Chain A
């Protein structure tokens, strides 16, 4: 880089310039570039000439053009200084540059760790080797040597296991099992397979038995996937299948069961799955923030239907109408979730579609480090918080609730209330409207414990009036509002500790906690419990107690006379109702449909026997024959139950325990229903999850 022409050694000390050249290896890019520019050779020759000339000159010199000389020397000096400056600067730049690469490399390494090398060779051969095993007692699927499914547990996992792989990365996007030995499961499978995007790699394998309730529609679908054996799958056959959705079959093995009492031989299918390019695996949605979220989601998981449709994806932003004068706009919403991402997806869709929702107030609390629920949360652009599970079973749920509620009030320190939801609820379109109209009650009436969107007794045949509210002594949960002061001052300090295997909701219903306070509920529920898989939940239980629950779908309902729900006003209201109610014919069987006349819009009252405050013998039998919640007592207010029958308001008063017994005409004998003999009694105190 010496651009300074040096004069001879006679009158120039070795320049300080020379030194930096020892460190030539450190030369930065632009020095190199400069070298090229300066056309070294020509310059050098020129310099050589100069030097020679100068030497000659000095020899001959007897001080001829001295002024010129001084000028030139000065000029050269300046050049030298500038050069030195430049070199120093360059060196600094070099040393600065060399400081940074270290952390950068660390970062790259960290990134590398995040993406496990799934793809074999990661080089030109973009192929996955897939192993699929099907047998009576065990199934497994391995992708490039990594086991992605292994099920050899006894008495579970029966049916067709389905795995969806991303065709570009080989990542597992969905994993399901359909117990097609049992009815209706094949319908779920058809639903699921139809949702999977074209091009994805589908893997199917049968454990134990998968054909008994595999109906024609499902078989036709398997045929359309190109399967030979699927459509003719027989009793206790084993079957392994790998294929591309809408594309070629990549491998299939099938072994017929020789006899009714035995199974087909275990089959092991080994096949290569060529990976396609990332572009092929993705849709070409417009490049918006929303679609970026969608793309991230759709490249990771499958089974969410049209949200990942290339042509016509379902919206992930809903912008429902805002609520005029929304009193709950700044109330935080805590969604309590576990590992049921499909439920969470459905739940969040309905929540974000409800009028008056404010998405930035929503936090989803996931119990465990599950990825897919987090992906769902991220799809909707919401805040998600994961919780390391503490304790087991009910206590785990309980600890999760506590952490979530504490976190909610920490994150929103100004909030006086919090809305608590669960991942298996549909939220009514007027959920926030309902809360906005009723939340002031919680502020003004100390005798209230909560506001809940759920009426335990609000079934299709027992709920009628979307504008009607009740006060009840039980805490229904399933979409409710918690007062911060109640939580912070009473509940949080004595919340059941992890070693106590208590249900949080049962604990909250205990008299020590509730202390005589009541909850406000609507006649027609503003939430719908759709979950059929859960800690305390199964399909039968759901069908019996939750499926026929009434759920409001009408927007903008104005509740009637909300202030009459306050403590004293409500008593006046109840007395008025009882006074105008027609007393039913107590000689009839209350379980018979004819117990209530075929009228509409009337108010009827019946009196049942209730010796003490906790005597619910007759009520439980009545609830059973009315096909409403009978597993424990719900929905009562001082020995009074309010529901609808045949579009008439139907009041039930427990005599003599209820203070409303005074309304009983002397001639009426309260109804008494015999409890069934003990051994076939109702299943224990099961409850909602």
Chain B
């Protein structure tokens, strides 16, 4: 062994690795010691350390991430499960504090729904086996209608005294966004209360104009512990969401009295399609600073009739169960200025052709909106137009889906010429427009740019539906023999 090596060892006393190269100077000194004894000692120490490490490792793991370990536990020991206990404690807390919560957890609602007969027949306390609330999972989601909550203040503390660790996600109130320069107290959006390894996610629903409930985006701010719970596994909060106001019913589940939506199926259907986008109020204000709003008597009157027509159409289609979204000029008005464009003269809606129902025309007729014209047929380029009050027209375009795009058709009455308007594929999101909850394409900007080009921000008053849209394509001509069917004017 070199001198340098030796020095290094001397210097770096704690460098255990180097001991493998420990010199053999001691060899002779130690030769007397029985090697069996040493071996035994070695084994003993090793095992002692091994045990210690195992113990420590386990301790460390369970402290850090008990959820992982407890998963298997829950399904085995029924009412002792960590999930059931957390839910029970949470229900105790909310009922004592008069917090009107109801269960919205999709997993459990699904289970309850499947076994609804059984749930209905079990009275309080008679459950023998924990079937629903003991299912292994990281979260149980509850909801609360904020306006029904009378004593928000003390709640948090009591929860923490009961052993919950709670996180409150707040944000500014989107209902004030549409109004110039208001800033209010922040509103609670989500509470996450952790009891041991299980967490209760309380989604706070806020009432919005248009008779629906809204919940916010769960956005983690800088100081929030990102490891508090596995946030990615949350069922709600990835996006803001909109829901119909559910009626509630009381059920006894696994010995606990809970409120759940009266129509769990409807609620469960809403969940995957609940994503909500807010109108771009800030941009709309900037738009009006540049172009000034039209507040003439005619503009006010048109907006009023267009709003009434839109409300009537929405009511009618909802009754039929037909999905629709804001299209063309109405969509542009929403996106660009959060309002109806006063010179647009009509209301435009889009419907997927697979949602077409033959009684649409009669339903609109009964609602006081007679058919004005019908172009195309269900198989091709269908377009319906209804006559509203005060000369405002309702146009419904039916959208056809291809592998990589969507399109709707147009027909020129005089010549029988067909047109095709192409759109990139899109999905539907909820938004709020003129005091209603309505659908718009989630990929709004792509949709609008397809229809109006990159210059959609600049108001254009003269618009030729056959030439102006950048996404229009000629699509041949209807055979004269079909004209009676595909060009109907009333």
Task: Flag whether B77 is at the interface (Cβ < 8 A).
Answer: no
A43 nearest CB neighbor, chain B only? B45
Q: Which of A242-276 contact B (CB under 8 A)?
A: none
B69 within 8 A of A: no
Closest residue to B38 on the A side, CB-wise?
A53
Contact of A53 among B20, B30, B157, B184 (CB under 8 A): B30
Q: What's the count of A-B pairs with C-beta under 8 Å?
A: 183
- Please indicate the chain A residues that have their CB under 8 angstroms from the CB of B50 in the complex: 78-79, 82
With both chains docked as a complex, state the minimum distance between the C-beta of B216 and any C-beta of chain A, in angstroms: 15
- Picked from A48, A78, A365, the residue with its CB within 8 Å of the CB of B19 is A48
Would A86 and B150 be within 8 Å (CB), given that A44-B19, A96-B227, A390-B181 are in contact? Answer: no
Q: Are B147 and A412 in contact (CB under 8 A)?
A: yes
Check if B22 sits within 8 Å of A57, measured CB to CB: no
Chain B 282-331 interface residues, beta-carbon cutoff 8 Å to A: 295, 300, 303-304
**In the complex with contacts A21-B15, A72-B43, A52-B27 CB distance below 8 A:** yes
Whether, in the assembled complex, B36 has its beta carbon less than 8 Å from a beta carbon of chain A, the answer is yes
Chain A residues with CB under 8 A of B21: 9
Q: Are A72 and B39 touching (Cβ within 8 A)?
A: yes
CB < 8 Å neighbour of A51 from B19, B46, B52, B178:
B19
Which residues on the B side are within 8 Å of A656 (C-beta)?
Answer: none
Determine if B54 is an interface residue (Cβ-Cβ < 8 Å): yes
B31, A413: Cβ atoms closer than 8 Å: no
Within 8 Å of chain A (Cβ to Cβ): is B222? yes
A30 cross-chain contacts in B, Cβ below 8 A: 56, 60
Are B20 and A9 in contact (CB-based, < 8 A)?
A: yes
In the assembled complex, how far is the CB of residue A8 from the closest CB belonging to chain B, in whole angstroms? 7
Instruction: Tell me, yes or no, whether A504 is within 8 Å of chain B by CB.
Output: no
- Whole-angstrom CA separation of A387 from B182 in the bound complex: 5
Residue of A nearest to B157 (CB): A289
B459 contacts chain A at the CB level, 8 A cutoff: no
Q: Which residue of B lies closest to A38 (CB)?
A: B49
Q: Does B47 contact A (CB under 8 A)?
A: yes
Pairwise interchain contact B154-A289, C-beta atoms closer than 8 A: yes
Q: Interface size of A by Cβ–Cβ distance < 8 Å? A: 78
Is B30 within 8 A of A14, CB to CB? Answer: no
Contacts of A89 in B (CB 8 A): 57, 60-61
Answer yes or no: B68 CB below 8 A from chain A CBs. Answer: no
Bound CA span A15–B209, Å: 67
Q: Check A49–B30 contact: CB distance below 8 A.
A: yes
Verify A360–B150 contact, CB threshold 8 A: yes
How far is B445's CA from A269's CA once the two chains are assembled, in angstroms?
65
Q: Are B295 and A3 in contact (CB under 8 A)?
A: no
Q: Is the CB of B35 within 8 A of A82?
A: no
B233 lies within 8 A of chain A by Cβ: no
Please determine whether B17 and A14 come into contact, CB atoms closer than 8 angstroms: yes
A383 touches B184 (CB 8 A): yes
Report the minimal beta-carbon distance from A626 to chain B, rounded to whole angstroms.
42
A403-B182, A410-B179 known; A56-B20 Cβ under 8 A: no
The answer to whether the Cβ of B211 comes within 8 Å of any Cβ in the partner chain is yes
Contact code string A38-49 (vs B, CB < 8 Å = 1, else 0): 101001101111
Query: Which residue of the partner chain, among B14, B36, B49, B64, contacts A3 with CB atoms under 8 Å?
Result: B49
Q: Are B147 and A48 within 8 A (Cβ)?
A: no
Q: How far is the CA of A85 from the CA of B56 in the complex (A)?
A: 12
Q: Does A444 contact B (CB under 8 A)?
A: no
A12 near B20 with CB under 8 A, answer yes
Instruction: Please state if B64 and A93 are interface contacts (CB–CB under 8 Å).
Output: yes
A388 at the interface (CB under 8 A from B): yes
B379 contacts the other chain (Cβ, under 8 Å)?
no
Asked if B223 is at the interface (CB within 8 A of a chain A CB), the reply is: yes
Q: Which residues does chain A contribute within 8 Å of B54, judged by CB atoms?
A: 82
Q: For residues 155 through 199 of chain B, which have their beta carbon under 8 Å from a beta carbon of chain A? A: 157, 173, 175-176, 178-185
Which of chain B's residues 11-55 have a Cβ closer than 8 Å to chain A? 13-17, 19-22, 24, 26-27, 29-31, 33, 35-36, 38-39, 41-43, 45-47, 49-50, 52-54
Please name all residues of chain B whose beta carbon is closer than 8 Å to the beta carbon of A96 when the two chains form the complex: 227
| B38 pairs with A385, CB closer than 8 A | no
- Could you tell me the distance between the alpha carbons of A383 and B208 in the complex, rounded to whole angstroms? 17
Q: What residues of chain B lie closer than 8 Å to A78, measured between beta carbons?
A: 50
Q: For the complex, is A18 an interface residue (Cβ under 8 Å from B)?
A: yes
**How distant is the Cα of A79 from the Cα of B48 in the complex, in angstroms?**
10
Known: A48-B26, A56-B27, A68-B39. A494 touches B153 (CB 8 A): no
* Chain A residues with CB under 8 A of B227: 96
Residue among B19, B29, B300 facing the most chain A CB atoms (10 A cut-off): B19
Which residues on the A side are within 8 Å of B16 (C-beta)? 2, 6, 21, 44, 47
Residue of A nearest to B149 (CB): A360
B36: chain A residues within 8 A (beta carbon): 65, 68
For A383, the chain B residues whose CB sits under 8 A away are 184-185
Which stretch from A101-109, A647-655, A663-671 is at the chain B interface?
Answer: A101-109
Contacting A at CB under 8 A, from B186-236, are 207-211, 222-223, 225-227
The smallest beta-carbon distance between A1 and chain B, in angstroms, is 8
Q: CB-CB < 8 A to B300: which residues of A?
A: 493-494
Closest chain-B Cβ to A6's Cβ sits at a distance in Å of 5
Tell me if A4 counts as interface (CB < 8 A to partner B). yes
Tell whether A388 pairs with B43 under 8 Å between CB atoms, given A14-B20, A52-B24, A82-B53.
Answer: no
On whether A79 and B46 interact (CB within 8 A), knowing A14-B20, A386-B182, the answer reads yes
Which A25-67 residues have C-beta < 8 A from chain B? 30, 34, 38, 40, 43-44, 46-57, 65
Query: Given the complex of chains A and B, what is the CA–CA distance between A493 and B296 in angstroms?
Result: 10
Residues on B with C-beta less than 8 A from A44 are 13, 16, 19
Q: Are B14 and A40 in contact (CB under 8 A)?
A: yes
Residue of B nearest to A383 (CB): B185
CA distance A96 to B300 in the complex (A): 57
**Bound Cα distance from A30 to B61, whole angstroms:** 13
Closest to B156 in A: A289
Sample (24) of A-B pairs whose CB atoms are under 8 Å apart: A7-B20, A8-B20, A12-B20, A14-B17, A30-B56, A44-B13, A50-B38, A51-B19, A52-B26, A53-B33, A56-B30, A82-B54, A89-B60, A93-B64, A99-B226, A107-B223, A360-B147, A385-B183, A386-B182, A386-B183, A410-B176, A410-B179, A411-B176, A412-B147
Q: A52-B24, A86-B57 are in contact. List 13 more A-B contacts (CB 8 A).
A: A21-B15, A30-B56, A30-B60, A40-B14, A54-B38, A289-B154, A387-B181, A388-B180, A388-B182, A403-B179, A407-B175, A410-B179, A410-B209
Q: Top 7 A-B pairs ranked by shortest CB distance?
A: A388-B181, A103-B222, A385-B184, A107-B223, A413-B209, A2-B16, A18-B17
**Chain A residues close to B by CB (< 8 Å):** 2-9, 12, 14-15, 17-18, 21, 30, 34, 38, 40, 43-44, 46-57, 65, 68, 72, 75-76, 78-79, 82-83, 85-86, 89, 93, 96, 99-100, 103-104, 106-107, 289, 360, 365, 381, 383-388, 390, 399, 403, 406-407, 409-414, 488-489, 493-494, 497
